[in-house]
Amino acid sequence: MKRKGSYNQRYAGDEYYWGKKPSITSIKVIELVHPTPTFRPKLIDLGCGEGRNAVYFAQRGFDVVALDLSLPGIEKTKRYAKETGVNVTTIHANILEYELKETYDVIFSTGTLHFLPPETRGQHFQNYKDHTSSNGINAISVFVKKPFIPRAPDLDRDAYHFTSGELLSYYWDWEVLYCVEEIFECASGGVSHKHAVNRIIARRYRTE
Ligand SMILES: C[S@@+](CC[C@H](N)C(=O)[O-])C[C@H]1O[C@@H](n2cnc3c(N)ncnc32)[C@H](O)[C@@H]1O
């Protein structure tokens, strides 16, 4: 049985709570963005957890910054990066307070932005969009509220699921390269349950 409780508790053991396999959205990003010897795309992973996606990107030639509120998650990310021989810059921070100051080619996040309270999301997404390079992308997956799907057993109290179409609305003025809403089975916390997820990859229109 995997551990429940706070992310710090979940990440405390040697085992990787979310595994080491990259997320579906990460794999989609790799299909769209191609690092070269002269182009090392700068990527930030907001809510990196134990680093499964951050390390995957670093292994494929991205210059990766990984941010999470959980210190054990950050430590596991560093450890996983070291074990695989890649460099990942880590930031221990709270996305509710963190404003991007640098520009990134890819702003990436899976299963984390539902921690942003709905009334503050507009300003956070504007900050992410403003700090995306010309022709850069935002690749985001969020949990979506569905009346017929019970709350996940290990879902945090401070989580606010998105409504259907909400994520897309933040990218109305960008080119949408990929947008899917689907329901998947999950066994996190040791109990089988379902999630509805919306994955989106949107590109900032080239300005120069
Ligand atoms: C469902 S996990 C997803 C982890 C990772 N993205 C993955 O796909 O494996 C959500 C992550 O969000 C982080 N998190 C929760 N609230 C946060 C906050 N306010 N600021 C930064 N990270 C936060 C948690 O520590 C956790 O690692």
Higher pLDDT, 3 or 138: 138
- Identify the domain containing residue 30 by its residue range: 7-203
The model's pLDDT over 83-123, given as tens digits with 9 standing for 90+, comes to: 999 999 999 999 999 999 999 999 999 999 999 999 999 99
Residue 32 Cα, ligand 1 centroid: separation in angstroms? 24
Instruction: Report pLDDT for 100.
Output: 98
Q: pLDDT by residue (tens digit) across 30-83? A: 999 999 999 999 999 999 999 999 999 999 999 999 999 999 999 999 999 999
Beta strands in 17-169 (DSSP E): 42-46, 63-68, 88-92, 104-110, 132-143
- Predicted confidence at residue 134, as pLDDT, reads 95
| Mean of pLDDT values over 6-12 | 93
pLDDT tens for each residue of 138-150: 999 999 999 999 8
- CA of 59 relative to ligand 1 center, distance in Å: 21
Whether 105 is covered by a domain: the verdict is yes
Tell me what pLDDT residue 153 has. 75
Number of structural domains found in the chain: 1
Question: By CB neighbour count within 10 A (0-12 exposed, 13-18 middle, 19+ buried), where does 192 fall?
Answer: exposed
Q: Which residue has the higher pLDDT, 4 or 125?
A: 125
- Looking at the predicted structure, is the pLDDT value of residue 200 above 50? yes
The larger pLDDT score, comparing residue 43 to residue 157, is at: 43
The answer, yes or no, to whether residue 206 has pLDDT greater than 90, is no
Question: What are the tokens at 71?
Answer: 């210190």
Question: Does 170 score more than 60 pLDDT?
Answer: yes
User: Can you give the CATH number for the domain in which 166 is found?
Assistant: 3.40.50.150
Q: Which pLDDT value is given to residue 3?
A: 40
Nearest atom of ligand 1 to the alpha carbon of 50: 9
Pocket test for ligand 1, best of 2, 4, 7, 161 (most atoms within 8 A of CB): 7
**Within-domain flag for 191:** yes
The segment with the largest mean pLDDT, out of 28-37, 155-164, 188-197, is: 28-37
Could you identify the atom of ligand 1 that is nearest to the CA of residue 45?
6
Q: In what order do the strands lie in the sheet with 104-110?
A: 88-92, 63-68, 42-46, 104-110, 132-143, 193-203, 175-186
Give me ligand 1 centre to Cα 102, in Å: 21
Q: What is the pLDDT of residue 2?
A: 40
**Residue 208 is assigned to a structural domain of this protein:** no
More confident residue, 105 or 208: 105
Q: Quick check: is 1 in a domain?
A: no
Res. 1: pLDDT tops 50: no
* Tokens describing residue 162: 């998105």
Residue 155 has pLDDT above 80, yes or no: no
What pLDDT was estimated at residue 5?
Answer: 66
Ligand 1 binding residues, C-beta < 6 A: 7, 18, 23, 47-49, 52-53, 68-70, 73, 94-96, 110-112, 115
Inside any domain, residue 2: no
